[in-house]
Amino acid sequence: MMNPSERKVTMEKDTGKGGINISFDELNWQYSLDDLDSFKDLTHLINLALQKIRENIPNSVGYFFVLQPEYHEYKEVVREGKFSIAEDSDLITYLAIKNEIINKKDIGSDVFFKSDDEKILNFLFSKEMGVNVIIPVVYRFRMLGFIAIALKDRDANITKEEKMFLKLLKESLKVSLFAAILIDKRFHDLLTLVDLSRKMEGFDTYEDVSDSIVELASQVVNFDRGVFYEYDPLSGKLCPRSMKHLEDLPELDVGQSVSGCIFEKKKPVMINNIKEHVFFNEINREKFISFSFISVPLIASKRDFGVLTIANSKRNEEFSVDHLYLLKIVASVIVDVLENKILYQRLEKSYFETVSSLATALEAKDKYTRGHSERVMHFSVGIAEEMNIGRDTLREIKYAAVLHDIGKIGISENIITKPGKLTDEEYEVIQSHPEIGADILSSVDFLKNAKEFVRYHHEKINGTGYYGKKLGEFPYEAMIIALADSFDALTSDRPYRKATHPEIALKELKKSVGKQFDQPTFDAFIRYLKKNNMVRQSLLL
């Protein structure tokens, strides 16, 4: 930056008009407007500008409205968006076209200004705001924002010197405001992406992520309609998995329509006004793509997940390169998360199958208990589904049910397979199997809840179970497994008796309602058995 003495200053005096012209560079230095270049962010720049206004226009109050592109409105920033004006309002259009300093009286008398926005004008010129002057800041044919200034004397006009200052401020702000808005948006986008990554990592399953892809994308880019087509390698089709403002979409072949083509080519595309694009307009079979769209394939190194396509139908809602860039980042993060979820689920399945095989091996020692754990699992899941228990807990119940007797690995085979009545000492040993089972599962993180269901699956709600805990003192899910366990024990052959008929078994279990099980769980079990035709539909207990 040049020193004052080095500046070339041109001054011309017109005695007829009394005007003095001074170079922009000199005036810029005179008003210290170079300070505006030292802004840190959007709010800092706005505060610097308002400070310059207070210094050079005494007894004034400035209001700075800045364009919020994602919301299509101008918000008054310093006061946290207390007041906003729609981007398509008549006032905004007028200010953008005029692109000059405008006095309050000019708006009312200008024949080019016809507004239906009486509410906006009344507020700006009300006692609360009392605006006298409005200065639009236009850059690259778009109004980035405007400054509204209220003078202490509501009927006063700004002086020629003050108007010169405002013109310089207007010119100095153009590039800085554009850069500040861009920086602010980049920072906001970065925070959004970080939050999005954390949210995705919080999903438990591949299915959770897949079902949320369109919703996740909408947190980064605004769009009217969108769909994630999941690729099914068996059928070779792209199947609608998650959508926004769409329904009953057909499946697509790979290469068919816009989304199928993008998936096949494996390259993201952004088009504004598809009608003007010969190729995509000709192949388009997706009715929701009527104007602008972005389509991004979700491709991993070893797997093709599908394609995400979003669309806007209005001309004033075109997508930008920024939107494409953000969507590509989101797609990349989603692909990584999907791969991780698949890997985790494979490891989980592998572990579960390994431990289940131990339970199966345990049951193989006794012909009377073969298949017991698997049946208890089906009964437990059936009860839980009838009770509308959430998917995560349902999965935990499934694991706990199939592993509920895993602790018997630590019990002597002579006791487990003894055909006659157990002694008190043997019965005490048998009672330790829930604790042994919980200990076996304790080292596995995804079974941390399931192990508690295993530990307490021999509890009774009246407190007469193995641990003597009452209803509310042990996990409710353990009671579901206990009911399924008891039913299968009654309806299976034992060395000392034949299997009981399911309906007779239910009558026996009915006697334990209020003692071992509660009524809602018992009723849910009956509904499940009737649904699967395991008991008569007319059965009444």
Q: Any idea what the CATH number is for the domain that residue 106 is in?
A: 3.30.450.40
Residue bearing the bigger pLDDT, 395 or 251: 251
pLDDT at 540 over 80: yes
Rounded Cα distance, 93 and 494, in Å: 86
**Looking at the 3D structure of the chain, how many domains does it have?**
4
DSSP-assigned beta bridge partners for residue 462: 470
| CB-based contacts of 517, cutoff 8 Å, min separation 6 | 461, 479, 482, 483, 509
Q: Report, as an integer, the average pLDDT of 189-208.
A: 78
pLDDT at 10 over 60: no
Going by the DSSP 8-state scheme, the letter that residue 236 receives in this structure is T
Q: Report, as an integer, the average pLDDT of 357-363.
A: 73
Max distance between CA atoms of the chain, in angstroms, equals 125
Q: Report, as an integer, the average pLDDT of 275-290.
A: 94
Tally of CB atoms within 10 A around 38: 10
Q: CA nearest 164: which of 9, 26, 2, 62?
A: 26
Q: Report, as an integer, the average pLDDT of 362-380.
A: 80
**162 and 235: one domain?**
no
pTM for the model = 0.58
Contact at 8 Å (CB) between 331 and 270? no
Is 351 among the domain residues?
Answer: no
pLDDT at 366 over 50: yes
**302 and 399: one domain?**
no
Coil, helix or strand at residue 452: helix
pLDDT at 337 over 70: yes
494 — pLDDT class (breaks 50, 70, 90): confident
Using the CB atoms, write b or e for 84-103: b if 16+ within 10 Å: ebebebebbebbbebeebbe
| CB-based contacts of 388, cutoff 8 Å, min separation 6 | none
Which of residues 340, 355, 379 is at a domain's end? Answer: 340
Place of tokens 């008398």: 109
**497 and 382: one domain?**
yes
**424 and 483: one domain?**
yes
pLDDT for the residue 1: 36
Rounded Cα distance, 44 and 399, in Å: 56
pLDDT for the residue 444: 80
Rounded Cα distance, 441 and 464, in Å: 25
Which of residues 306, 324, 340 is at a domain's end? Answer: 340
Q: Is 140 exposed, middle or buried (0-12, 13-18, 19+ CB in 10 A)?
A: exposed
Which of residues 149, 182, 215 is at a domain's end? Answer: 182
Is 156 among the domain residues?
Answer: yes
pLDDT for the residue 31: 62
**527 and 396: one domain?**
yes
pLDDT at 243 over 50: yes
pLDDT for the residue 6: 38
CA atoms within 13 A on the CB side of 146: 27
List pLDDT tens digits, range 396-409: 999 999 999 988 88
Stated length of the chain:
541
pLDDT for the residue 26: 58
- Kindly report the CA angle at 247 between 246 and 248, in degrees rounded to 5? 140
**422 and 508: one domain?**
yes
Is 257 among the domain residues?
Answer: yes
pLDDT at 90 over 70: yes
pLDDT for the residue 397: 95
Is 86 among the domain residues?
Answer: yes
pLDDT at 73 over 90: no
pLDDT for the residue 357: 79
Share above pLDDT 70 across residues of the chain, in percent, rounded to a whole number = 88
pLDDT at 280 over 90: yes
Is 441 among the domain residues?
Answer: yes
| Residue 296, CA distances (Å) to 177, 292, 448 in order | 32, 14, 38
Is 279 among the domain residues?
Answer: yes
Tally of CB atoms within 10 A around 541: 12
Contact at 8 Å (CB) between 23 and 10? yes
Range picked from 11-15, 430-434, 524-528 for highest mean pLDDT: 524-528
Question: Under the phi-then-psi rule, with left for phi > 0, alpha for psi from -120 to 50, and beta for the rest, what region is 472?
Answer: left
pLDDT at 515 over 90: yes
Residue bearing the bigger pLDDT, 113 or 253: 253
**125 and 252: one domain?**
no
List pLDDT tens digits, range 452-486: 999 999 999 999 999 999 999 999 999 999 999 99
Is 134 among the domain residues?
Answer: yes
Is 487 among the domain residues?
Answer: yes
Tally of CB atoms within 10 A around 234: 5
Contact at 8 Å (CB) between 172 and 33? yes
17 — pLDDT class (breaks 50, 70, 90): very low
Tally of CB atoms within 10 A around 159: 10
Residue bearing the bigger pLDDT, 183 or 156: 183
| Mean pLDDT value across the chain | 85
List pLDDT tens digits, range 98-124: 899 888 777 666 655 555 566 777 777
Q: CA nearest 51: which of 209, 165, 179, 221?
A: 165
Determine which helix (DSSP H) or strand (DSSP E) holds 277, and give its type and residue range.
none
Coil, helix or strand at residue 298: strand
pLDDT for the residue 341: 85
Q: Is the dihedral of CA 301, 303, 206, 439 positive or negative?
A: negative
Contact at 8 Å (CB) between 348 and 453? no
Structure tokens at 99: 């692109």
Residue bearing the bigger pLDDT, 364 or 263: 263
- Kindly report the CA angle at 88 between 244 and 119, in degrees rounded to 5? 115
pLDDT for the residue 14: 37
Q: Report, as an integer, the average pLDDT of 121-146.
A: 83
pLDDT for the residue 15: 35
List pLDDT tens digits, range 52-63: 999 888 888 899
Q: Could you tell me the residue range of the domain that residue 90 belongs to?
A: 35-182
Q: CA nearest 262: which of 318, 328, 317, 214?
A: 328
pLDDT for the residue 371: 83
Range picked from 31-40, 183-192, 526-535 for highest mean pLDDT: 526-535
Determine which helix (DSSP H) or strand (DSSP E) holds 44, and give its type and residue range.
helix 42-56
Q: Report, as an integer, the average pLDDT of 353-382.
A: 79
Find the helix packing angle between 476-490 and 372-386, rounded to 10°. 130
| CB-based contacts of 474, cutoff 8 Å, min separation 6 | 452, 456, 459, 467
**282 and 396: one domain?**
no
pLDDT at 241 over 90: yes
**108 and 173: one domain?**
yes
**516 and 384: one domain?**
yes
DSSP-assigned beta bridge partners for residue 103: 133
- Kindly report the CA angle at 259 between 256 and 262, in degrees rounded to 5? 95
Q: Report, as an integer, the average pLDDT of 207-230.
A: 92
Q: H helices of 266-320, where?
A: 278-283
**7 and 73: one domain?**
no
pLDDT for the residue 214: 95
Coil, helix or strand at residue 121: helix
pLDDT at 256 over 80: yes
**239 and 287: one domain?**
yes
Structure tokens at 514: 């209020």
